[in-house]
Chains A and B, each alone.
Chain A
Amino acid sequence: MTQAAGSMATEEAKLNGDIPAVELIGVTKRFGDTVAVDDMYLTVGENTFFALLGPSGCGKTTTLRMTGGFEDPTAGIIRLHGEEVTNLKPYRRLVNTVFQSYALFPHLTVGRNVAFGLQQRDVDRAEIKRRVAEMLELVQLGGFADRKPHQLSGGQRQRVALARALINHPRVLLLDEPLGALDLKLRKEMQIELKRIQSEVGITFIHVTHDQEEAMTMADTIAVMNMGRIERLGAPTDIYDDPRSSFVANFLGASNLMEVGVVDASSGRLALGDGTQLHTSGPGLAPGEATAKIGVRPEKIRLARVGTAGLPENAIEADITDAAFIGVSTQYLLRSTVGTVLNVVVQNIEADRFAPGDRVVAAWSPQHTFVVRGEIGAGEGV
């Protein structure tokens, strides 16, 4: 019956000419009393680089493992290219995985590791040989076919794991924190490398990571997960500029969040405790609510001496409590007259620097003022 439903959906989608690579429909996974993934709906389009981003324990890896077939969902349906695969074993899914620990077979050479999947599918030897060589070339490991995994560096192993998965031309490639074990420099290189390979092979990548910078660098679409749910889904720039929840605002980059009174929801007029007027041009204010939480990114705030003209509309007076020069920018910590702590990053373009104790005006424009829901402080420091 489920198969019939699956093929019907396939037919339907074929008519629309648009079958998503992966669909999760109301998927829940419980481990005992713990809900790892909570009633998740997710659609990942064809040929996208999709990132599942969140702190540890948010359910991102469980989501990936259910997609790969390593865990059975407690409830819900999973489809790959329109076909239901919810309870199919991993070896029956045209999905491949790059494991966090790489999981290379230690007793097999690099070449035989990469050939493993094709051998199971009875591809003939000459063809396997050709494709292994081609794939090792793609991941820049030509000539390493006869090495054993323990003779490789971390970055090389990572690329073998990638080649071993990609050689099967999976419909979807799942990557479970594949760069976690690499040092910073190698990680940056591999981010670019992965992105290049993805656009070259045109396969949907689902990449699980807790590193927001990594997600933003590589992914076309990011789903920010928290406590088994997707908090925000969209293009990196959209999520960054309008995180919508305080968790996302703090997890993806840094944010200054503050409680404000709503003066007029329709025009976006707000007021701080001391009566300072603020504006937002963003969405999210619900009519009838007396208070709201707003946020602004540290780099969107300008600092100026009190009395400077031509500043953006939202301006509050504050004292500098700390200043840290970090080369490309200077990071200031401010305490406003109403007690709000502000984190401000100023590019070192103007000669005008401030010192702790200075009284300044912190100003930003209404279009950089976003409205968030949820507890202020959520997601901070993760």
Chain B
Amino acid sequence: MSEEQVAGSERTSPTRPQQLLLAGSVAAIALGLLLLLGGAGLGSVEGFTRLFGALAMLVLGCGSGLVAIRGESRVAYLLLIPGGAWLILFYLIPMARLAVTSLQEGTLEQGFRMAWKWSNFSEAFSTFGDQFLRSFLYAGIATAVALLIAYPLAYFIAFRAGRFKNLLLVMVLMPFLVPFLLRTLAWKIVLADDGFVADSLRALGIIAENGRLLATSTAVVAGIVYNFLPFMTLPIYVSLEKVDHSLLEAASDLYAKPATAFAKVTWPLSRPGVVAGTLLTLIPAAGDYVNATLLGTPRQFMIGNVIQSRFLVVLDYPVAAALSFTLMLTILALIIPYVRATGTEDLAAA
């Protein structure tokens, strides 16, 4: 679509305002570069102010330059500037710093210095391979369980809830009214050794007489499922809600029994929601450490716990950064084939 628009837009010689805009953008970029790289002459402008000013100038310059080059109809690009600046400042730059840190060596006391120490990565992986595997195992199981719970729930709310629809949606969102930490702490009480859940399960013989719920993998996974369930439910609900009821009538009219109609119409049309929901659950779940900390033991620790302790307890920044990067890249490596397989059209539709 946008390609057509670009191809179809007329390329005329630049008008006077366009030339002015272009000149302005060049000036802004130059000023930005000067601020960023400039020498001692700018010593009075320091630190954060200088960095922020440089970025603002660069983004503004690039944005207005784009508008000037592409023509007036591209004014919409200006809308990207605030968001773009935000992302550069608080996402790209920290990422770059993290990348740099991951290759440094040293200690906090002696200072870190760049050493292109790739062994940080191999060390991160060889030492904490178990936690990595466990993270993805727990996150994967939690995502699957959340999907199994959320899909029927979303289906019911979208198709059968009638006038209770809004009430049920509010109930799905209700846990957000309680802070994440408190919610997880509350689960500690629910799953406690002398709690009613454990007691009932013991009475039913589902767990052994001396068995526990708390401090087990089950507790950690259950906590993750609970905490991320709304992120799974809402996107699925939204895509199910959009399914036109007459499509199901049409399927039925064309001899599809209810199960077939679901498989051939409802499910494919709700897939964008399923893709969005699984990503919104899997990604944060893989990096989560709160559930493992509160509901598990070190034997249940996930990679999030390791990163947290490396950064804040051991103060081994390079390895912590390498771990963070590895986690991120692993998630990307998992997601790209998943999104490809489910179709980019699906994501666009979501």
Contact = CB atoms under 8 A, between A and B. Distances in A.
A117 B265 CA distance: 13
Given A106-B269, A120-B260, A90 B244 contact: no
Interface stretch (B181-189, B224-232, B251-259): B251-259
Contacts of B329: none
A104 B249 CA distance: 11
A101 interface: yes
Interface string B256-290: 11001000110011000000000000000000000
B246 interface: yes
Contact of B247 (A103, A165, A168): A103
A91 B249 contact: no
B269 A117 contact: no
A259 to B, nearest CB: 46
Contacts of B45: none
A92 B185 CA distance: 54
B250 A99 contact: yes
B350 to A, nearest CB: 13
Given A103-B244, A106-B269, A116 B249 contact: no
A116 B254 contact: yes
Contacts, number: 60
B217 to A, nearest CB: 38
A221 interface: no
A107 interface: yes
Interface residues of A, number: 24
B250 A91 contact: no
B249 A70 contact: yes
Given A99-B249, A105-B265, A107-B269, A117 B244 contact: no
Interface in A97-149: 97, 99-101, 103-107, 116-117, 120-121
Given A107-B268, A107-B269, A120-B260, A101 B246 contact: yes
A380 B255 CA distance: 41
Given A90-B253, A103-B246, 16 more contacts: A69-B252, A89-B252, A90-B252, A91-B252, A91-B256, A96-B254, A103-B244, A103-B247, A105-B247, A106-B247, A106-B269, A107-B269, A116-B256, A117-B254, A120-B254, A120-B260
Interface of A: 68-70, 89-91, 95-97, 99-101, 103-107, 116-117, 120-121, 164-165, 168
